[in-house]
Structure 1
Amino acid sequence: MTIRKLTKLALLTALSCVLRLAFGSLPNIKPITALFFVIMLTFGLVDGLFVSSLTMLVTGFLMGFSPIIIGQILSYAVILTIGFGLFKGVRNLIYRTIIIFCLTMLYGFVISIFSARLFGASFLPFWLSGLTFDLAHAVSTALFFPVLVTIFKNKQVYIKR
């Protein structure tokens, strides 16, 4: 791994951590899921997985570390990997945003599996009780995604300087 790539990943992770902390007071309204998708689309799946995993670890130390971080890392790995496969044939921003909305809802489903198991709760009531939070997460991700895509659209200009 080159120093340039390592620096890029460190800066993207730092940006993700700052955004997660800045939006910490708003439940599930954070731009980081959209940012992870943009990183995956712009730099590749491995970079998206690396930044999402490292962000969960670093913010876990700052916000409180628990086994649920493993669930967050795996849930992001699931939705980013599925998104990577789906986006190969989809170029339209609106369709991508709709797919990201659905994948973010899937994130809520997958993380609920880990959370229910961690707290010893029954899965279905646990998942259903969190649907409003999942919906807020999916809507905010769908709103942040086009904004972040626009910012990252000319990434080559920023990387070469």
Structure 2
Amino acid sequence: MMMTTRLTRLAILTALACVLRLTFGAFPNVKPITALFFVLILAYSLADAIVVSSLTMLVTGFLMGFSVIILGQMISYALILSLGAFIFKWLKPMILRTLVVFVLTMFYGFIISIFSAQLFGSQFWPFWLSGLTFDLAHAVSTALFFPILATIFKNILKT
């Protein structure tokens, strides 16, 4: 019974993340899904957050265009979520966690640029620098969505 409950939860959360990613598709790098993945660490576990993030990249990849960059996204998310879970153990105030989420989301942009530059045959530093505005939009939106989603999940899990 417990495994069925967990699988159902993972499927529903993945569906939610996919819908959010597609719904916010018109806004480059402004999406609540990275914030959702960080909240899942707090609400459930690091493993659940990595599973949902990986499945989200895979499923939306089929809908938005599939390429090897999806593997880079999965690895990048696994790395920043792991770092976030490690740091969250010692940082309890929401403002500090939000700051960590901002920094790790910027780090995601750095990591994914390594994969993307390789994919497009570009040199890394110019590629990464040219995408900093997108990384900043991603980090700011994630930092704004994070406390909102954390509050929603906290309220849901209390009931």
Q: TM-score range by the shorter chain?
A: over 0.9
Q: Which amino acid aligns with 2:137?
A: A
RMSD, aligned α-carbons? 0.9
- Partner of 2:57: helix, strand, or coil? helix
Aligned to 2:157: 156
Aligned to 1:9: 10
In 2, the alpha carbon distance for the partners of 1:41 and 1:115 equals 30
TM alignment of 1:42-121, pairs within 5 A: 42-121=43-122
Runs of 4+ in 1 over 4 A off after TM superposition: none
- The unaligned stretches of length 5 or more in structure 1 are none
Aligned to 1:40: 41
In 1, the alpha carbon distance for the partners of 2:140 and 2:121 equals 29
Q: Which amino acid aligns with 1:146?
A: P
- What's the TM-score once normalised by structure 1's chain length? 0.96
**1:30 maps onto 2:14 in alignment:** no
In 1, the alpha carbon distance for the partners of 2:17 and 2:77 equals 14
Aligned to 1:140: 141
- Partner of 1:153: helix, strand, or coil? helix
Q: Which amino acid aligns with 2:6?
A: K
In 1, the alpha carbon distance for the partners of 2:147 and 2:3 equals 30
Q: Which amino acid aligns with 2:25?
A: G
In 2, the alpha carbon distance for the partners of 1:156 and 1:29 equals 26
**Deviation (angstroms), 1:154:** 2.8
In 2, the alpha carbon distance for the partners of 1:97 and 1:70 equals 26
In 2, the alpha carbon distance for the partners of 1:147 and 1:99 equals 15
Deviations 1:30-55 (A, max 9, x none): 00000000011110000000000000
Deviations 1:10-67 (A, max 9, x none): 0000000000000001000000000000011110000000000000000000000000
- What's the TM-score once normalised by structure 2's chain length? 0.97
In 2, the alpha carbon distance for the partners of 1:81 and 1:156 equals 22
Percent of matched pairs sharing the same residue: 67
- The unaligned stretches of length 5 or more in structure 2 are none
